[in-house]
Structure 1
């Protein structure tokens, strides 16, 4: 992730940044997973509902005891993605250094999850492919040098698999964050023989301080799609995520050296301008990845975190870098075409900075959502405390503004990056938990699957202990427990679906099943004497 200084009025210029700069854009043996799902149809595009009757009133004296038919009640709560980026490039967040033991890396991942829980968050966006490499076990790309110091060297642990296993055990989603085209964050690093830039050197270009793969090369596109398909197939991840690096941020006076693929396009009869051709290359990748993810596991959320300004003057009064012309990225088109599930624009300016005002930008981004898709604002948390304008109150206000447009599609936040939360800098972790994320929440449902219902859980009550099971357990994400308060049911906890039993105190409860696609069933009424 980068922020343009001269044009966008914030922190650093990607044209001059080095490998050690801040970047969520900068951004075991894996286990096979099943494609079974609790939704009531096999088609991702068919909408059905269950035939279970919904009671018109709630009777707190009835409920399931393990014998009689379950009584069902409607339940719901405010959904929100509460995520944080964990950057591996340049060892920003993980691992803390190169050459750590497998146990030390596992301990660091557990500490990351501890922080996520302490802040009340529900998702981690983990950088699994920082530079055409892998922070996971891959047959397609070499192990990342950020693990051992040598690209291609086995670290003795699969960080992504460990994070998925431990995160899911805590009810935390894990999204795999990939940089699509960067091959080296530093030109001085040494490539493994199996790296894409070593195998396709004709499409690997030195540009600025990094090495970049050509987005216009079919072989480069094919490799990226294959990597995505491999990740989604072999890992029980909850999302695929790209940052803002497509064509690289421009270096003043230096043209990106893609003459060979541009000339081949023209020789084949291509009629687009060079800028439109580059945008078309990126658009084709975005669409193909979306189709690939949806074909393999449609409940895996696919999204992109673009630069926070679409184009200067959009909306009125906003000025800054033009990603449409500079990065050849058209996130408005991606949303309109439904190629992805969400956008997470990097709104890396404070609410007080008029030319890039956070409130104005989040309102505009929220207004472009279509088809029930979402905006998750990207927030520049690593600036916390660096200047007066980056106070704790500033980030509180950004969350408030994000929620203000929830009805228009603004359904959460992703914070760059986790270090301030790990430090509890200025009390930010405590404040997030106490003031914004005290109540648990599921992330929003996948828009394309939002109409596909989930069967309620099977519930058996033995005193205060409730046993939970389901007809399609492989497709579940969680049980959601609600406590009756007056005539309403209020969310009490979210329990990982692997949990077979829970304890309840005396009172009336409702328990729903939530599918991996984010849809909840009706709640089964439970009364504990």
Structure 2
């Protein structure tokens, strides 16, 4: 009883500190090993390709007092179970072998739960195309998203994925056919197997500029400024941008809300379907760890999903960062486990994170190992000796649907701003830092929405450019880059600046692509640093430098993250051309330019 009281006081204290200063205390007193706690391991699909591996995975998990396995059974559009919907994985050579059935039987013998991990919207990511004619890429190429150049992800090569820094090809979450197809996969697994749970992964849009083929949103999403996609939540509170910038941010955020609703609808479909057929089956999801970033980057508004267990993937960052994320989850009354990056960190680092999470009343922890767990026995044994010496029961929470007062009309714009922050406390801290009360904020935002609606009706609707109209094209610059990160530590800086010296010397002796492939640290390294054409419509340090440079010019710039070497490969100067003949990115720049001119005229009337 004494510990329960201390724990309650501690949680209240943490919340108070977060609301006032936005950071974690330096020291947290920890409870002993808990009797009720979720302890999971994510098991990657290839690891269950043989019965022997399955036996070793289950034995290792049991020996180290884990009680849950999140087993990947749908990856790359292929199934690691007997499916009537998906093609069977080519890694499974024995036609009689059913990995999901086997691991469920083995795990249940040892008292472990099995949750079927299903990659949701991402369906392919390799260089070679899938072999199975039944694959969704061949069956429904029209179900895929398009990028900001208008290219379908169904046509992507590996270079395209690298270029756009995306993990693979994504289905359009807004299409009803996509929702039905994914729903049927979840229900097939639930009906045919004795799983303890089903587990969403990649249940989001890709990070970056990706769009549906067709949108019902009143403003064409492809014509919204790219800068709006990278907005800072604080700028919405300050209202410190130009009228055009704020118009773009408003419409990106409201369009992004529609994207997020499409994902929420799928989650609700699966939860409701399972509730009707097998209510004992748990529904969980792996999500981006920062709720605000998850929402604004990829439409993953997971705080609104009716899940049994939410698992934010807090893999990277130091102890303070992971702790701040876990502390932000205290504001939800739902069951939250924290996903920890065991593949990135030492066992001692993971031990500290679990201790801190326990002090913050996190319900459980799931490790992403990278390697099969039976190859990491020493690592897991150390965690067991320090934290998991006592076996634990999996927490059980009754599934209660979120109760929404239908008579109360929610202000969508206000809610969107609040949800762009990591937590409610961060939102109110931003208000205080800007000298505003909540009532001030509500009044200002009401004025903002009225302004946007006037622009919609009086300016935007009249801004039309016909394909045959002659316009001035934007300046296009094709460039390459080499990136060298500068760590914060002293010795890290010494090592980084030595590398910068090597790059400077190498560029005098070798071609830029050769040096980029050798030394660059960004995603364009495999492409020899080639970043393609840019329309110079982003407001950042690199764009400003490129706009000043000449063809074949090299320039070195220092950013907050590191040193970037730039080379301009080709410049296409502005010229007169029919609007319909421009590429999609250039059309957006021309449209934004025309909209800016009209807003300027309108504001002076």
Regarding TM over 0.5, the answer is: yes
Tell me the equivalent position of 1:424: 376
Q: Counterpart of 2:214 in 1: which secondary structure? A: helix
Task: Give the Cα–Cα distance (whole angstroms) in 1 for the partners of residues 198 and 176 of structure 2.
Answer: 21
The 5 A counterparts of 1:426-465 are 427-448=378-399
1:126 aligns with 2:71: yes
| Equivalent pair of 1:382/1:417 in contact (CA under 8 Å) | yes
Flag as ranges the 4+ runs of structure 1 deviating above 4 A.
Answer: 261-266
Cα distance in structure 2, aligned partners of 1:441 and 1:310: 28
Q: Give the deviation of 1:263 after TM superposition.
A: 7.3
CA gap 1:362/1:244 in 2 versus in 1, 3 angstroms: farther
Distance 2:87 2:302 in 1: 30
Residues 421, 428 of structure 1: 8 Å contact kept: no
Of residues 385, 394, 401 in structure 1, which corresponds to 2:356?
401
- The offset of 1:447, in angstroms, is 2.2
3-state DSSP class of the match of 1:305?
A: strand
2:327 to 340, 363, 375: 363
The 1:368–1:132 alpha-carbon spacing in structure 2 relative to 1, beyond 3 Å, is: farther
Within 5 A, what are the aligned runs for 1:154-303? 155-204=95-144, 205-206=152-153, 208-209=160-161, 210-250=168-208, 255-260=209-214, 273-303=254-284
The verdict on how the C-alpha distance between 1:413 and 1:121 changes in structure 2, with shifts beyond 3 A counting, is same
1:274-300 residue CA offsets vs partner (Å, 9 max, x unmatched): 322211111111111111122211111
Shift of 1:81: 0.9
Pair 229,420 (structure 1): closer, same or farther in 2 beyond 3 Å: closer
Match of 1:310 among 271, 287, 291: 291
For the Cα contact (< 8 Å) 1:131–1:181, is it kept in 2?
A: no
Mapped contact 1:86–1:126 kept (Cα < 8 A): yes
CA shift for structure 1 position 273: 4.0
CA offsets 1:59-83 (integer angstroms, 9 cap, x no match): xxxxxxxxxxxxxxxxxx8311110
Between 276-285 and 120-129, report the one with greater CA deviation.
276-285
Q: Is the 8 A contact 2:104 2:114 kept in 1?
A: yes
Q: Is the 8 A contact 1:217 1:261 kept in 2?
A: no
Report the CA distance shift for 1:432/1:155 in structure 2 as closer, same or farther (over 3 A). farther
Distance 1:350 1:276 in 2: 28
Match of 2:39 in 1: 82
Q: Would you say 1:375 and 2:315 are equivalent positions?
A: no
Measure how far apart 1:183 and its partner are. Answer: 1.6
The equivalent of 2:54 in structure 1 is 109
Q: Secondary structure at the match of 1:448?
A: coil
Deviation at 1:187, TM superposition (A): 4.6
Q: Which is bigger in relative contact order (C-alpha 8 A, separation at least 6)? A: 1
Structure 1 residues 432 and 233: alpha-carbon distance in aligned structure 2, compared to 1, 3 A threshold: same
* Cα distance per residue 1:417-454 (max 9 Å; x no partner): 262742336x32211222222222220113228xxxxx
Whole-Å Cα distance in 1 between the matches of residues 73 and 85 of structure 2? 13
> Which SS does the other structure have where 1:446 is aligned?
coil
Task: Give the 3 Å change call, closer, same or farther, for CA 305–368 of structure 1 in structure 2.
Answer: farther
Greater C-alpha Rg: 2
Is the Cα–Cα contact under 8 Å of residues 126 and 177 in structure 1 kept in the other structure?
Answer: yes
The farther-off stretch of 200-209 and 298-307 is 200-209
SS at match of 2:42: strand
- Report deviation, 1:155: 3.8
Give the gaps of 5 or more residues in structure 1: 1-76, 96-104, 149-153, 312-321, 384-389, 450-529
**Which residue of structure 2 aligns with residue 391 of structure 1?**
346
Where does structure 2 lack aligned partners over 5 or more consecutive residues? 1-33, 145-151, 162-167, 221-250, 401-605
State whether residues 203 and 263 of structure 2, in contact with CA within 8 Å, keep that contact through their aligned partners in structure 1: no
1:502 is matched with which residue? none
2:512 corresponds to: none
Question: Residue by residue, what CA displacement relative to the aligned partner does 1:386-439 show, whole Å, maximum 9, x if unpaired?
Answer: xxxx33221110110111122xxx1110000262742336x3221122222222
1:224 and 1:391 map into 2 onto residues whose CA distance is: 36
For the Cα contact (< 8 Å) 1:113–1:167, is it kept in 2?
yes
Taking the aligned partners of 1:421 and 1:229, their CA distance within structure 2 comes to 29
Task: Give the match for residue 329 of structure 1.
Answer: 300
1:126-183 deviation line (CA, Å, top 9, x unaligned): 00111222110011111123435xxxxx643000000001110111110000111112
Cα distance in 2, alignment partners of residues 445 and 124 from structure 1: 16
Deviation at 1:265, TM superposition (A): 11
